[in-house]
Copies of this chain bind each other. A is one copy, B any other.
Amino acid sequence: MKNIVLLGSTGSIGTNTLDIVAKFPEQFRVVGLTAGTNDEKLEEQLRVFKPTAVALSDEAAAAKLRARCKGASVQILSGVEGVAQVARLPEADLVISAIVGGAGLVPTLAAIRARKNVALANKEPMVMAGKLMQEEARRHGVRIFPVDSEHSAIFQSMEGHRREDIRRLILTASGGPLWELTREQMQHVKPEQALRHPNWKMGAKITIDSATLMNKGLEVVEARWLFDIPPSQIEVLIHRESIVHSLVEYRDGSVIAQLGLPDMRTPISYAMNYPARMPLEPPPLDLAGIGKLTFFRPDHDRFPCLGFGYEALLTGGTMPATLNAANEIAVAAYLNHGIGFLRIGEVIQATMEAHSPRDVTSLEDALEADRWARTKAETLVRQCLS
């Protein structure tokens, strides 16, 4: 029996994770759940899974939940510190970090420092402070298991092989919903269209990141730190069908890849139960039925955001955190305030250009860059709208 804490339980990864727990109750016990603002969904979940403690980062939502759960044995915490406290629950064996965006950094680091193994579905902490995260993981003797489908694929393709034999990591990208469009056409893309991902059903933020290919740029940064591989050995390959989730090339010419139908329960369960696989028994992968798998080179002209990931790594220090924060602000502005689709990349680029990078030697360094970049990006967004 493994005791798990699930950070971000009401999102797409969170609900998929709880599906797995519900299917294998003899293997997992949920001891902690956290969410942002969705007190109603969290309440449903806590009544089913009966955790020791839950937290909502939003104070008002937590107050509502407390009012409705009077007399229940669950401890209801709130705020950033409440979420971090759940991440540190003494009885937890594994913390699944599935919070969207930079908000995941503090509680994920709290889990690591409390000597919890982490299943990381939230790529932003690695982008903001990857080096620090890995140093802390080493210092506290814990492992970080990737949950992102591409990074899980890389991880699975490295298992049983020597890392000194690796030549390249090849991250696949579906190309997203706008792969066929010209820059001209992208200018006028509305959120409804950009949110229509061809293969994966995901949250809004990550789906827009797929449309700009920023998602892949962030994944390059994530891969760099997760696997300790320099960016010059990380490549991106467009693969429209999202069947080959990523590949690792070795120096003898052999390429190991992980494939599967798009189903997040596979990488989630692998991270939860590593090294054993869970009998999810989904339909077999019918490659003959699929017929063909196609591959293209990424197009940096139409999708400049991909390059930002490499640039941020090259500069190093606080630049990836800046990139990430600017992207979060720009995507939110696109979704909620109607800045043009191409403005997302422009806001990110201008924020990065205005940033004076410094080393990340502490959590505060990353958070400070994050705050600075949010403010800067918000200013730029206001200029777009005026």
Q: Which residues of A contact B (CB under 8 A)?
A: 156-162, 165, 167-168, 170, 237-239, 247, 249-261, 263, 265-266, 269-270, 275-282, 284-285, 287-288, 290-297
**Contact between B254 and A156, CB atoms less than 8 A apart:** yes
Closest to A269 in B: B252
A315 to B158, CA, bound (A): 39
Known: A237-B287, A250-B277; 4 extra A-B contacts, CB below 8 A, are A253-B281, A256-B259, A257-B257, A291-B294
**Contact between A253 and B160, CB atoms less than 8 A apart:** no
**Contact between A295 and B292, CB atoms less than 8 A apart:** yes
Minimum C-beta distance from A173 to chain B (A):
12
**Contact between B167 and A284, CB atoms less than 8 A apart:** yes
Contacts of A263 in B (CB 8 A): 253
When all copies of this chain in the complex are counted, the total is 2
Minimum C-beta distance from A46 to chain B (A):
27
Contacts of A284 in B (CB 8 A): 167-168, 249
Quick one: which of B261, B281, B288 contacts A237, CB cutoff 8 A? Answer: B288
Contacts of A256 in B (CB 8 A): 156-157, 256-259
A259 to B153, CA, bound (A): 14
**Contact between B252 and A270, CB atoms less than 8 A apart:** yes
**Contact between B249 and A253, CB atoms less than 8 A apart:** no
Contacts of A161 in B (CB 8 A): 156, 159-160, 275, 277
Minimum C-beta distance from A28 to chain B (A):
15
Contacts of A255 in B (CB 8 A): 258-260, 285
A157 to B158, CA, bound (A): 10
**Contact between A259 and B260, CB atoms less than 8 A apart:** no
**Contact between B266 and A260, CB atoms less than 8 A apart:** no
**Contact between B294 and A292, CB atoms less than 8 A apart:** yes
Closest to A157 in B: B256
**Contact between B259 and A280, CB atoms less than 8 A apart:** no
Minimum C-beta distance from A188 to chain B (A):
29
Contacts of A260 in B (CB 8 A): 253-255
**Contact between A295 and B285, CB atoms less than 8 A apart:** no
**Contact between A287 and B295, CB atoms less than 8 A apart:** yes
Provide 7 A-B residue pairs closer than 8 Å at the C-beta atoms, listed in order of the A residue: A156-B161, A159-B160, A254-B266, A257-B257, A288-B295, A288-B296, A292-B295
